[in-house]
Amino acid sequence: MGFKVLIPEDITAAGKDYLSSLGYTVEVMENPTEDSICKAVADCDGMLVRNLPYTRKIMEAGKKLKVIARYGVGTDKIDLAAATDLGIQVTNAPTANTNAVAEHVIALLLACADHIIYQDKQTRTGNFGSRDITKSIEIKGRVLGLIGCGRIGQHVAEKASKGFGMKVIGYDAFIPADRWPKDIERRENMEDLIKESDVISLHVPRTKDTINMINKDNIKLMKKTAILLNCARGGVINEADLYEALKNKAIMAAGIDVFATEPASKDNPLFTLGNITVSPHNAALSVEAMDQMGMDAAQGIDDVLNGRKPKFPVNKLG
């Protein structure tokens, strides 16, 4: 009897086709809820998951469940403690979307620096004179400060320094000096980095220690010409504090792909401001990245169910 894999939220064809080619039964759900996932997972050996919460209740309903593979990097929506207690291996795809997210960071940076969204709207209304009033800034020679210098941060650093001639500095509490990326100047604390940077880009997970890590206290340390970027996780910026800073022009602009609550409400006060560029948490969703995330997740499932060590384990089983 073959293995069965549940995909509560649909993915691109690559990962599904890979599993099917190996003889897996693949079930894709429509409009999943916690209760409907509990019913569907009862006879499944693995789950390939995206953005919904995956709770102990769901895992306990999967009597045969051995592996949960995350279609992407972050696992904050998966109850890792429950998975470990129940002997369920969790895997992810930490390298699949690295380039896509890094490119999106640069896109938001350029949109903010060149006032792309504003000038687009003005041009469409016939206001060609806006070119003489609202001026762009060049990013060559400016200081990019990275808070978090892992895979994505390092890719952003490479694109910013080699592609645009920026100086890149970084702070990361978890990378020791002897493993520090050679192309990023190390800063020992976040406050010094914030004060020095013209552009600040966040690359940290959402944890109890990072929630609201950017708030009114350290926004006050930023230059009035600063641009703040977040393509990491919602909730690491206090959105109320960011709103006040942007409204009062305490900083120049922000480029935001992630929000404290998602989907973000159309009534989010940030959306009333003209000096913020936003996107719907789609930084990682290039065609290429989505296919690779599916393949990495599918291969993780196949490894676990066939007794092999997965390439990207998240939790450690006894």
Domain residue limits at 235:
98-278
Q: List CB contacts of 295: < 8 A, sequence separation 6 or more.
A: 14, 15, 18, 96
Which residue among the candidates 233, 239, 244, 288 is catalytic per the annotation?
Answer: 233
Using alpha carbons, list the distances in angstroms from residue 98 to 74, 141, 284, 289, 293: 12, 25, 8, 8, 10
Q: Please indicate whether residue 233 is annotated as part of the active site.
A: yes
Statement: residue 1 has pLDDT above 60: no
pLDDT at 88: 98
Same domain membership, residue 126 and residue 269: yes
Average pLDDT over residues 214-218: 98
Same domain membership, residue 183 and residue 139: yes
Q: Please indicate whether residue 239 is annotated as part of the active site.
A: no
CA distance 242 to 81: 33
Which residue among the candidates 138, 262, 288, 308 is catalytic per the annotation?
Answer: 262
CA distance 205 to 221: 22
pLDDT at 74: 86
Question: Does residue 256 lie in a domain region?
Answer: yes
The structural domain count of the chain equals 2
pLDDT at 225: 98
CA distance 262 to 280: 9
Same domain membership, residue 274 and residue 155: yes
pLDDT at 307: 97
Q: Please indicate whether residue 187 is annotated as part of the active site.
A: no
Same domain membership, residue 167 and residue 46: no
pLDDT at 318: 81
Q: What is the pLDDT of residues 264-307, one digit of tens each?
A: 999 999 999 999 999 999 999 999 999 999 999 999 999 999 99
Q: What is the pLDDT of residues 71-122, one digit of tens each?
A: 998 898 999 999 999 999 999 999 999 999 999 999 999 999 999 999 999 9
Question: Does residue 57 lie in a domain region?
Answer: yes
CA distance 48 to 9: 8
Q: What is the pLDDT of residues 118-171, one digit of tens each?
A: 999 999 999 999 999 999 999 999 999 999 999 999 999 999 999 999 999 999
